[in-house]
Amino acid sequence: MANRVTFLVDGFNLYFSVRHAETALGTSHLRWLDVSELLSSFLYLFGRDAILEGIHFFTALPFHRHRYDPGVVQRHERHLQALKASGIHLHVADFKRKSLSCPHCGREIERFEEKETDVALGVKAIELLHLDACDTLVVVSGDTDFAPAMRAAKRLFPEVQVCVAFPHARFNAELQQIADFSFRIRGARYAEHQLPDPVRLPDGRIIRRPRDW
């Protein structure tokens, strides 16, 4: 009987891991990442009967950055289109504006925070397990915010293997302790798994790798 493996990807945690790897490896061309191929390359860790059941990618588009970097949203959207074409399920949330008061001068400070992504990933994990949609669940992140969802998954579905894949430079000891199994993704693996350029979408359109990606 096959071991159905599903990956839940914290998109921004992975993105900043890739940026860190670019600095560590002395390059600026790792962001056109083929997430499907990258994660599929780790299936052997789950046994000979492991098959890829699905990849769910959770992220948000940084519209608030547009005034500083007019092309930022377009670049991310292009990558998401390429990921969707590779068979990945996308879950795209928003950044919400939040006003804070400086404790020293009282001046109001505007900040934008990614909202719903953590909750959406946790809810999807429980949904998949409730529907018996996978035998192994892998959270791709080093963010401790996912600890409650992982604990709940293990408590409610003890027959399912709950794992964590730590992106480069994103190790988290708490998540490692909760998980049944964990592994790290080396920065060099990003260079080995890049999307083709150009990518042909199912509707025939062609998209190209953004400059400096």
Residue 207 has pLDDT above 80, yes or no: yes
More confident residue, 21 or 112: 21
- pLDDT the model gives residue 71: 73
Residue 212: predicted pLDDT: 84
Q: Which residue has the higher pLDDT, 80 or 73?
A: 80
- pLDDT band, very low/low/confident/very high, at 94 (cuts 50, 70, 90): confident
Task: Give a three-class secondary structure readout of the chain.
Answer: CCEEEEEEEEHHHHHHHHHHHHHHHCCCCCCCECHHHHHHCCHHHHCCCEEEEEEEEEEECCHHHCCCCCCHHHHHHHHHHHHHHCCCEEEEEEEEEEEEECCCCCCEEEEEEEECHHHHHHHHHHHHHHCCCCCEEEEECCCHHHHHHHHHHHHHCCCCEEEEEECCCCCCHHHHHHCCEEEECCHHHHHHCECCCCEECCCCCEECCCCCC
Kindly report, residue by residue over 1-41, the tens digit of the pLDDT: 899 999 999 999 999 999 999 999 999 999 999 999 999 99
The closest of 17, 52, 48 to 31, measured between CA atoms, is 17
Q: What pLDDT digit, counting tens, does each position of 142-200 carry?
A: 999 999 999 999 999 999 999 999 999 999 999 999 999 999 999 999 999 999 999 99
Cα angle 141, 36, 10 (rounded to 5 degrees) comes to: 20
pLDDT at residue 98, rounded to an integer: 54
Reported confidence tier of residue 112, pLDDT bands at 50, 70, 90: very low
Q: Answer whether residue 106 shows pLDDT above 70.
A: no
